[in-house]
Structure formats: C-alpha cells, structure tokens
C-alpha cells in the first residue's frame, strides 16, 4: 500500500516538475526591428447602435437640452490615445444617408434603425458632431460610406462635403452649416460587410461595385483618399482573393471582421457567468486570428508583394449574450478578465503582423459589445479591456521587435490546447523597449523567460491587470474591482528576463 502511495506521489511529482521544467522560453531580438506598429491598430468603432452614440458618448437628451458630448467619457478616451474612430457603422452605415445628419437639428429627418432594435434615429448626431468628437480626441476620422443602399453620387457628395477646400456645391453647403475649413477625412470605407447586412453580394459583384465607388473619390487639396474595401468575414479566403484580384489596385486597405464567441451565434453565453470551457473557447477564438491574418496576408502578398494595401481588422472583439434586462438589439454586455486577455492576445497578434495589419477597430467603443467604457446615467466605468488598451499605448507607432519562441507551454483543456502565453514587444521613439504579455490559462501561473539579444538590459518595471477570479468585472457599485497594479514578478539577470505570470493576467513591462 505504502509503496503504491509512494509511486503515485512520485508520478505526481514528475508531472509537477515537468510542468515547471518547460517554461515558455522566448528570445527578443532587439536589433532586428523592421516594421512599425501602426497606432491605427488601436482604433475604435462607434456605430449608431444601442447606447453608444446617444446615452454613451453623448448625454441622453431631455426635452430642454440637446445632445452634449460627455466630458468624462472624452477624458477617459483621451488617456488611451484613440488613433481613429470608425463611424457610423457597421450595418448601420449601409442604411445611412449622410444628408439626414447635417443642418439645423430640428429640421433633420428621423429614420428607423432597422438593424439595431428598430428604434427611431433622429439624426441628432451627424457628420459635424462626429467630426467634433474625433477632433476632441485627437483621433483621425474613418467614415464608412453607404454602398449597400446609397449611390455613387451620394458617396461622392459626402466626400466633397468633408474635403473640398475651395468653392463647390458641397463645400459651400458645409460652410452654410458652420464649417469653413475642410475636415480633411482620409480613411474612407466603401460599404460594410457587403457579403451580409451590406447587400449580400458575391465578391465578384462587390469588386465591380467597389471600383465604381472608388473611381469617384478624387484628391482634394491635401487629402488623398485611403480607400478601404469591405474585406472577408473570418476565414473567407475566397473573398480576399477575388477583391484583391479584381480591385486590389484601386484600394489602400481591406477590412476583415472577426468576432470571438464562446458559444454559437444562437447561444453565445453570458459575459460574466461562464465556465472554463467557455473561457477556453474565447481564448481559442482570439488565437485563431493569427492563422486568419497569416492566410489573408499570404493571399494579399500574391497580388501586392510590396504590401501597399493594408489589412485592417475593422471589427473584432468578444460578442456575448446581452446583459439580462437590456434591450436585446442594443448589444450591451459586461466585460471581465476574459475580455481583457482576449484583447491582449489579439493586439499582440496584430502587432506581430505589423507589416500587413496597419489598422484595426475593436467593436465597440462605449456600451456596445467589447466596450472600453460603460455608462449608466451620469456614471461611467472603465472596463478591463480599457486597461489593456491603456497598457498597449506603449506600442503606438513603435518599432516592432521580433520575438522567437524556443519552447512553449500549452494551456490544455481536454484534448484541445492553445499557447499559454501571448507576447509582443516594441521599441518606442525614445529608444525604450516594452513587452506586453498575457497568461491565457485561467487557473495556473506560468513562468516565462525572455532572452534579450542585441541590447543590454539591466532592469525592468511593469504593471499588471489581474483579479482573484477569471470572471471578475467592474460594476457601477465597484468600478475598481479590476484595475492595474504595479508588477513585481519580473526579474533581470544576465540579459535574461524571468517573468512569473499569474493566472488570467496581462502585464506591460518596460526594459531598462
Ligand atoms: O458590431 C456589430 C455589428 O457586427 C456590425 O454592425 C456589423 O458590421 C457586424 O456584423
């Protein structure tokens, strides 16, 4: 009996030792940077959906007051240095007629937001208001034109309205509405999800339409259009193939969408009440982005070997069931440590593909899907995902430093597995190197070693985002349940960094 017990203990010991003996080993090649991580990877998405625009970024209107931009929300967004905001959709974009949203507010017509809850949209927030938000944030605007139910003329007129510097019918209309100087909008989407809500088109048909629309966006003054085509859904490689083949020479970006689900589209699962299986599926969904980006990029390489056309992940993030009690068409969901780790792993993937991925927009900015900020009346809270975006500001426009993996630990569940650790690194304009890392394993700490080659490193400091449980989140009663803290789990010795990553955690490290 005793012998059997000893044998069992020996086995267990061996298993633990094996776990401990194979840490994730990474090599950071500090002298092999080539590509810049575009800050536009950290873009936001603001659709006329639920409580994002109205009662989110802008105050709820009452009978005496018009919509007003919320200063608390704007100040918080400034801290994450939002580089661009994609607007007005989403599916809404292909139902939107921009002329409804200009001029005196009381004269603007109302429409029905058919995609999102069938609510009445009174067009109180339109082109000028949105561009005022972009200006307040120091963000570049990214307009998505209506290709699904609009016309070439209508899109061309919008382009002329925001960009023509001299006298023209649309520039004069803009002046009449109070804006003399052109807004100088560069990023221009031509439709949204034209394979789905934007018109259910075949890629061949869309590519032909795209060429018509793209032909009527002339350069005005200092502005040249950065023309963004509708890209693939997830792993639809045929869409990328056809659009690049037929219209690649007429575009500057192609907009792929990929959402991370813990269940099915019919049953996505709760944002806060989930088990490890659902956590795991979220991690797998996030990590699947790597293969998709790699394969879409490989297709693009065949038509565009110089990588002129950017792959833009124009919608990404977690999509859970709406919060109980909220309007099902408003896509209001809570945000836990799971969302934070999905965000970190996804952003690491975009960073590592900086040669081709030069833009991305998380869905969405406030009160919708994987939001940075949730509001309730005059209250506001920052989500765990917000804190990840704040950590990752260190990578904006920094030089990507390649990380090679020499050995990897896996986070396994049943017969399935994903890498336990995600990481990316960069050097900023001041020469400072940063590494972001996350632990995808919800229950076990993991040790990571990082050999820094090509630079001397003698110290490290950092911050961590974690919480006692994998489904911890911030509420209006406890808005700081999940918040950043100083991180002391990283040490440097002989140019080697050793990082003790707690379970379900994200860290940002500064190397000295
Ligand atoms: O982000 C919500 C919706 O998801 C967008 O409107 C649409 O483009 C996508 O299907």
Label residue 18 by pLDDT band (50, 70, 90): very low
**pLDDT reading at 14 higher than 90:** no
Pocket test for ligand 1, best of 51, 197, 330 (most atoms within 8 A of CB): 197
**pLDDT reading at 6 higher than 70:** no
Rounded to the nearest angstrom, the distance between the alpha carbon of 91 and the centre of ligand 1 is 6
Closest CA to 342 of 328, 362, 368, 357: 362
24-29 sheet: strands from edge to edge = 403-407, 24-29, 446-453, 496-501, 490-493
**pLDDT reading at 11 higher than 70:** no
Is any ligand 1 atom within 6 A of the Cβ of residue 89? yes
Rounded to the nearest angstrom, the distance between the alpha carbon of 416 and the centre of ligand 1 is 29
Label residue 8 by pLDDT band (50, 70, 90): very low
- CATH architecture for residues 22-33+401-511: Sandwich (2.60)
Q: In DSSP terms, which residues pair with 507 in a beta bridge?
A: 437, 464
d(CA 501, CA 422): 11
- pLDDT value for 321: 98
- pLDDT value for 40: 98
Q: Please provide residue 283's backbone torsions phi and psi, each rounded to the nearest 5 degrees.
A: -65, -40
288-318 pLDDT tens trace: 999 999 999 999 999 999 999 999 999 999 9
| CATH 3.20.20.80 location in the chain | 39-396
Rounded to the nearest angstrom, the distance between the alpha carbon of 363 and the centre of ligand 1 is 8
What atom in ligand 1 is closest to the CA of residue 196? 10
- pLDDT value for 63: 59
**pLDDT reading at 184 higher than 60:** yes
DSSP class per residue in 151-197: -HHHHHHHHHHHH--S--HHHHHHHHTT--S-----EEEE-S-TTTT
189-248 pLDDT tens trace: 999 999 999 999 999 999 999 999 999 999 999 999 999 999 999 999 999 999 999 999
Determine the straight-line distance between the first and last CA of the chain, rounded to whole angstroms: 55
**pLDDT reading at 12 higher than 50:** no
- pLDDT value for 249: 98
**pLDDT reading at 21 higher than 70:** no
Is any ligand 1 atom within 6 A of the Cβ of residue 363? yes
Is any ligand 1 atom within 6 A of the Cβ of residue 47? yes
Superfamily of domain 39-396: Glycosidases (3.20.20.80)
Long-range contacts at 116-120 (CB < 8 A, ≥ 24 apart): 116/47, 116/48, 116/49, 116/50, 116/91, 116/92, 116/329, 116/330, 116/331, 117/50, 117/327, 117/328, 117/329, 117/330, 118/329, 119/329
352-400 pLDDT tens trace: 999 999 999 999 999 999 999 999 999 999 999 999 999 999 999 999 9
Question: Looking at the annotation, which residues are catalytic?
Answer: 193, 315
d(CA 59, CA 266): 32
Rounded to the nearest angstrom, the distance between the alpha carbon of 353 and the centre of ligand 1 is 24
What atom in ligand 1 is closest to the CA of residue 192? 8
Atom 9 in ligand 1: residue holding the nearest Cα: 90
418-454 pLDDT tens trace: 999 999 999 999 999 999 999 999 999 999 999 999 9
Label residue 66 by pLDDT band (50, 70, 90): confident
Average pLDDT over residues 114-140: 97
Pocket test for ligand 1, best of 44, 86, 90 (most atoms within 8 A of CB): 90
d(CA 249, CA 290): 25
d(CA 229, CA 448): 40
Give just the sign of the alpha carbon dihedral 334, 286, 439, 40. Answer: negative
Atom 5 in ligand 1: residue holding the nearest Cα: 90
| H or E element at residue 285 | helix 276-303
CB 406 within 8 A of CB 3: no
Average pLDDT over residues 264-287: 98
Is any ligand 1 atom within 6 A of the Cβ of residue 193? yes
CB 230 within 8 A of CB 191: yes
What atom in ligand 1 is closest to the CA of residue 93? 6
**pTM, full prediction:** 0.95
| CATH 2.60.40.1180 location in the chain | 22-33+401-511
- pLDDT value for 67: 79
Rounded to the nearest angstrom, the distance between the alpha carbon of 425 and the centre of ligand 1 is 30
Is any ligand 1 atom within 6 A of the Cβ of residue 94? no
Rounded to the nearest angstrom, the distance between the alpha carbon of 53 and the centre of ligand 1 is 15
């Amino acid at each position: 009996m005793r012998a059997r017990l000893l044998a069992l203990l020996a086995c267990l010991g061996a298993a633990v030792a094996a776990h401990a003996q194979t840490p994730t080993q990474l090599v950071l090649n500090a002298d092999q940077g080539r590509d810049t991580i575009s800050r536009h990877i950290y873009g936001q998405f603001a659709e006329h959906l639920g409580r994002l625009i109205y009662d989110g970024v802008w105050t709820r209107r009452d009978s005496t007051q018009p919509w007003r931009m919320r200063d608390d929300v704007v100040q918080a967004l400034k801290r994450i240095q939002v580089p661009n905001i994609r607007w007005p959709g989403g599916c809404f974009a292909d139902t939107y007629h921009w002329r409804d949203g200009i001029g005196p507010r009381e004269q603007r017509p109302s429409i029905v937001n058919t995609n999102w809850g069938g609510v009445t949209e009174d067009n109180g927030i339109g082109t000028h208001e949105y561009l005022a938000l972009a200006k307040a944030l120091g963000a570049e605007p990214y307009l998505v034109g209506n290709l699904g139910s609009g016309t070439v003329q209508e899109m061309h007129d919008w382009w002329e309205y925001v960009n023509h510097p001299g006298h023209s019918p649309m520039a004069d209309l803009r002046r009449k509405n109070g804006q003399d100087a052109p807004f100088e909008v560069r990023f221009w989407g031509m439709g949204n999800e034209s394979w789905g809500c934007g018109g259910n088109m075949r890629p061949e048909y869309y590519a032909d339409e795209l060429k018509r629309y793209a032909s009527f966006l002339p350069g005005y003054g200092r502005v040249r259009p950065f023309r963004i085509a509708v890209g693939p859904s997830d792993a639809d490689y045929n869409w990328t193939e056809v659009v690049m083949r037929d219209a690649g020479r007429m575009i500057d970006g192609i907009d792929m969408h990929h959402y991370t689900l813990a269940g099915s589209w019919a049953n996505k699962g709760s944002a806060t009440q989930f088990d490890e299986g659902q956590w795991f599926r979220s991690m797998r969904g996030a990590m699947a982005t790597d293969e998709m980006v790699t394969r879409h990029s490989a297709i693009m390489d065949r038509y565009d070997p110089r990588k002129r056309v950017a792959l833009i992940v124009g919608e990404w993030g977690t999509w859970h069931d709406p919060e109980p009690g909220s309007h099902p068409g408003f896509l209001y969901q809570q945000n836990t440590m799971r969302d934070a780790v999905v965000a970190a792993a996804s952003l690491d993937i975009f960073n590592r593909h900086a040669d081709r991925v030069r833009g991305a927009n998380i869905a969405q900015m406030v009160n919708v899907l994987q939001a940075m900020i949730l509001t309730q009346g005059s209250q506001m809270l920052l989500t765990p995902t917000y804190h990840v975006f704040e950590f990752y500001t260190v990578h904006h426009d920094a030089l990507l430093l390649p990380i090679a993996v020499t050995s990897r630990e896996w986070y396994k569940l049943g017969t399935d597995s994903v890498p336990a650790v995600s990481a990316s690194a960069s050097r900023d304009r001041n020469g400072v190197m940063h590494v972001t890392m996350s632990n995808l394993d919800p229950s076990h700490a993991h040790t990571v070693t990082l050999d820094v080659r090509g630079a001397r490193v003698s110290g490290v400091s950092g911050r961590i985002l974690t919480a006692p449980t994998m489904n911890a989140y911030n509420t209006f009663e406890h808005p700081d349940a999940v918040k950043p803290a100083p991180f002391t789990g990283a040490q440097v010795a002989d140019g080697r960094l050793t990082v003790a990553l707690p379970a379900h955690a994200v860290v940002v490290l500064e190397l000295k």
